[in-house]
Structure 1
């Protein structure tokens, strides 16, 4: 009994010291808010914020927006006069998607990417704008339903901001895709003409293009977080939440793709429907990561406001 009391006293003492240290330190991106306060608010946000329901709503709206947006982007490819662009893009998609998901979409992708179709392009542009705006609107609504309180906009204001963010996101994603695809085309040409070899420089350039693409993706998330609240004076564009969401989305996408390719048996059980399940799950996990990043930013803001 005495040993139990001593052990309990020891752990209580260590816990008190740990809390004292956490109350005195702050991480980069926390805006001088104490680590302990941020953890408390973040825990409450996760516990009381209905994250699963909010992530499900976002994933559903993103699923509606995904296909017309992808069709619109891909129908632009045949109009770009660059040799081997279609081949490089298909290889990129093959490397990014799970194998079974790529097989399910391969025929459609090849048809859309290699053949010009003005009517599909027009319909894709309109439907992409409508569904993408609704998707971002749903994302902002999910942010507004956080446990933490902050100023929000009315429906019209939210819709206008969602439309603006769609154009910004489209621009950033388009630039990222151009960097990834065109840089690979240029690298292959340099290797073909023996200007460049498969040496350290070649792999450094490849690493550099992915770093730039990741940075653009980070900025896209930062735009979402920065413009979601109506009052931005307390929010920073470069934030800890954006960093966490970017890392989480990268890890979940990588891990989920590895699991599906190596252990998933969904295609044997469900066929093509299983592929849709995989895409929806991938969207759900990434939506969850976006909400977690926003909850971290809201927790930092509340912790800083409470101390002021």
Structure 2
């Protein structure tokens, strides 16, 4: 049933739609988060958050993405009620709405929401995800500081091992929470199931694997920059988003297939 749903559900077309809309929503989401950062009571949080965002991107796209991030930060205007802030919420809602539309395009999904209802859900989920991103960055920073302080007082074997282990577990946990929230709110039937589902676990692990393999591919086999110049970084970023859109749909299809099996 799972494979049948993947074939009938036109997975690649849905992933393409999601990746384009999500790419368009990235920078409005960053603008939204940058308006929240001044309210975070952590010293030098802006600089540390930029490094946190940078570490989540493919290496060849980091310079391209961070140049736009820096430009948004330097030209930031207004506060929580500014027109740019409200516009960022609108575009962020569009990106989440595209993800939900991709979920509802599944072969296993028969009940869908109205446009207005889905957009309201999309905006709310987008806001929650942005707040979770800021919270995750704050927790990430505080725990690294705690780990380094503990290392200076306790004779740990190797702090690099502990930092690597923490980053690995932290990435899996964040991916699990984010994907679970999207699956939970993405369809009308999602809230009738438990929050953490098998598809969320699969998505989290696949995200880690594909990110690692994609990094190796870009570093050793890809020649995007030689072929396309500076625009190669943009293509790499879009390809990275497209791959993870497929991963997100694979996890959703697993949840949908298991839900159908339970009903029979």
2:227 counterpart of 1:269: yes
> Which residue does 2:245 correspond to in 1?
287
Pairwise CA distance, 1:186: 4.5
Asked whether the equivalents of residues 55 and 291 of structure 1 are also in contact (C-alpha less than 8 Å), the reply is yes
- Return the alpha-carbon distance in structure 2 between the equivalents of residues 97 and 228 of structure 1: 25
Please list the CA deviations of residues 76-131 of structure 1 after superposition, one character each: whole Å capped at 9, or x if unmatched.
55675645545544544454433332233444445555x58434884553232111
Asked whether the equivalents of residues 183 and 190 of structure 2 are also in contact (C-alpha less than 8 Å), the reply is no
> Which residue does 1:181 correspond to in 2?
141
> Which residue does 1:147 correspond to in 2?
107
**Aligned CA distance change for structure 1 residues 123 and 186 (closer, same or farther; 3 Å):** farther
Q: TM-score, normalised by structure 2?
A: 0.85
> Which residue does 2:9 correspond to in 1?
49
2:207 counterpart of 1:249: yes
Structure whose alpha-carbon radius of gyration is higher = 1
Pairwise CA distance, 1:231: 3.1
Comparing 90-99 with 253-262, greater Cα deviation is found at 90-99
Comparing 88-97 with 41-50, greater Cα deviation is found at 88-97
- Return the alpha-carbon distance in structure 1 between the equivalents of residues 143 and 120 of structure 2: 34
Asked whether the equivalents of residues 172 and 205 of structure 2 are also in contact (C-alpha less than 8 Å), the reply is no
2:62 counterpart of 1:62: no
> Which residue does 1:164 correspond to in 2?
124
> Which residue does 1:204 correspond to in 2?
162
Pairwise CA distance, 1:292: 0.8
Asked whether the equivalents of residues 85 and 185 of structure 1 are also in contact (C-alpha less than 8 Å), the reply is no
Pairwise CA distance, 1:45: 0.6
Pairwise CA distance, 1:188: 4.5
Asked whether the equivalents of residues 78 and 116 of structure 1 are also in contact (C-alpha less than 8 Å), the reply is no
**Aligned CA distance change for structure 1 residues 284 and 120 (closer, same or farther; 3 Å):** farther
> Which residue does 1:217 correspond to in 2?
175
Asked whether the equivalents of residues 27 and 69 of structure 2 are also in contact (C-alpha less than 8 Å), the reply is no
The answer for unaligned runs of 5 or more in structure 1 is 1-40
Pairwise CA distance, 1:226: 1.4
- Return the alpha-carbon distance in structure 2 between the equivalents of residues 258 and 176 of structure 1: 26
Number of residue pairs the alignment of both structures matches: 263
Asked whether the equivalents of residues 221 and 242 of structure 1 are also in contact (C-alpha less than 8 Å), the reply is yes
Pairwise CA distance, 1:259: 1.2
> Which residue does 2:77 correspond to in 1?
118
